[in-house]
Structure 1
């Protein structure tokens, strides 16, 4: 039997000004910056990881923030909406919260089981907050700007837009182990593992959609969870046997990764749950310092001069007195 993902690991998008990105996702969305590092393939820019208190898989949203980046185009071959899980009955609070920040948002009801608040981040990335009548048991990050009773519980789902859904559906079911759980003429919903928030992928088929252009305000890739490196290596072998062009296993310091494109054009990653974000700084200090992998550490001075200085809101590390380390 092919390996089966446990659900979503993270979503990685491209943003603009790093400070604006930090302010929105910490103060606006109420997430915690759990790691401030750099793009290992282009170390002149940050790689910022947001999530719950420890950055657990399934809670993570990450960004490559390039100052002055050109605006991308949302379209076919992309993950076009990233949704976060929030408690039932909380969308009124969230709408008021975003209004106070000058962010427009719209409430829409897709079904009797699920209500959504749709908005865009400062770079135009499409985000949804999903309030479901199924309780999400995950503990939130209790920040100063978003009380725990309303806070994000983690990823809810990702929407993939493709011109032809057949190949994408086959990849999700036959090669990633998801199950088709609902279907309409233009949308299919797939679920991994136990199902529910953090395990859902929606596929929208639009044969007339313009191809997406990956740049500012778009998703670069979505990542699925795998428990460990041994399972990942097995999975890579299976995908190669099925004809996918899969990268070698890459060390991302906090997990290892493989990447490939599914037939609809969306870039997929399979990432391990381990070792996690506390391997190079204590839990209380997550996100404060600029962390580099060993192979980039000799270039620290050059990298520190290349990235834009940023300041973290105090709520990111509330038990510490200093919060502005680079």
Structure 2
């Protein structure tokens, strides 16, 4: 493979009520709302981006919160767990914080010297917090709600559930340039670069599990990093030459995207690191106003009137309400 990703760019999931979604990820998990926009393919719903201070690639979990979306089903052919990286000493603090917020959690499990705490968001999305023994040098979003010493550093990993691992493993290694790192029973770990938080995917083989249904409470797609548009375009050409069905390059305003499915069924994306989230609003004001791409601006009034009001916690963003 000529091209190698440096790690995860973002994970996009489907949620339900947008206010409940924002309250959980801003107040409970202490992430920053770095962009409030709409689903460019369905502008009647928000697209909310949560991440670190500037929304750097590798810190981002994004949502399409459809209020009337049917409940999804967790199973094979999808990304089933999204894990965040936290400081090594913070798992106990997080277990107590989630308990105080009435969020049920698993017991802390140690695997490969990493402490992991599993839980779900209000729509049932499977999440985890992982403390890596080598630490995570990424700067957190520091707020009064979640102090920096305990705050999420960014994405740690995703888990793909499949019925068999061979074809998926081939796509990860030959299509994305990942390397096989470890095997633990029916779990196979692949990493980008030197591995570690933000550069890891686990492939979980569950041949008897039901097929997943992507809807409310499940992951829609997993995005991997490309450094620039030129690399992405050449990468797309190489994937196409290998017989992989890849979309055209799509303008997502804050990055460019191509999409394809790995053989197990999960929708993957390769997204560029640039231009980033400060292209249309200052760093200090990220997420406070409804931002639309140029081709949707003529319909701003109609789009804004169709979206529900979204109140933001003052502790997380200076603004109190998204302004249309």
What are the equivalent positions in structure 2 for 1:1-326 lying under 5 Å apart? 1-111=1-111, 113-317=113-317, 320=318, 322-326=319-323
* Greater Cα offset, 39-48 or 62-71: 62-71
Mind listing any 5+ residue stretches in structure 2 that lack a counterpart? none
Instruction: Find the residue that maps to 1:90 and give its secondary structure.
Output: helix
The aligned length equals: 323
For residues 111 and 213 of structure 1, what CA distance do their matches in structure 2 show?
28
* Greater Cα offset, 205-214 or 273-282: 205-214
Contact 1:180 1:191 in 2 (8 A): yes
Contact 1:107 1:115 in 2 (8 A): no
Give the CA deviation at 1:96: 1.0
Instruction: Find the residue that maps to 1:169 and give its secondary structure.
Output: helix
For residues 232 and 144 of structure 1, what CA distance do their matches in structure 2 show?
39
Instruction: Find the residue that maps to 1:295 and give its secondary structure.
Output: helix
Instruction: Find the residue that maps to 1:316 and give its secondary structure.
Output: coil
Normalising by structure 1, report the TM-score: 0.97
Give the CA deviation at 1:97: 0.8
Contact 2:15 2:217 in 1 (8 A): yes
For residues 4 and 107 of structure 2, what CA distance do their matches in structure 1 show?
34
Contact 2:309 2:321 in 1 (8 A): no
* Greater Cα offset, 308-317 or 56-65: 308-317
Instruction: Find the residue that maps to 1:309 and give its secondary structure.
Output: coil
For residues 199 and 299 of structure 1, what CA distance do their matches in structure 2 show?
39
For residues 174 and 108 of structure 1, what CA distance do their matches in structure 2 show?
34
For residues 221 and 50 of structure 1, what CA distance do their matches in structure 2 show?
15
Contact 1:114 1:132 in 2 (8 A): yes
Mind listing any 5+ residue stretches in structure 1 that lack a counterpart? none
For residues 111 and 14 of structure 1, what CA distance do their matches in structure 2 show?
28
Instruction: Find the residue that maps to 1:21 and give its secondary structure.
Output: helix
What does the per-residue CA deviation read over 1:97-152, in whole Å, with 9 as the maximum and x for residues that have no partner?
11111111123323361111110000000000001211100000001211100000
For residues 216 and 112 of structure 2, what CA distance do their matches in structure 1 show?
34
Normalising by structure 2, report the TM-score: 0.98
What CA RMSD, in Å, does the superposition of the two structures yield over aligned residues? 0.9
Contact 1:2 1:175 in 2 (8 A): no
What does the per-residue CA deviation read over 1:44-63, in whole Å, with 9 as the maximum and x for residues that have no partner?
00000000000000000000
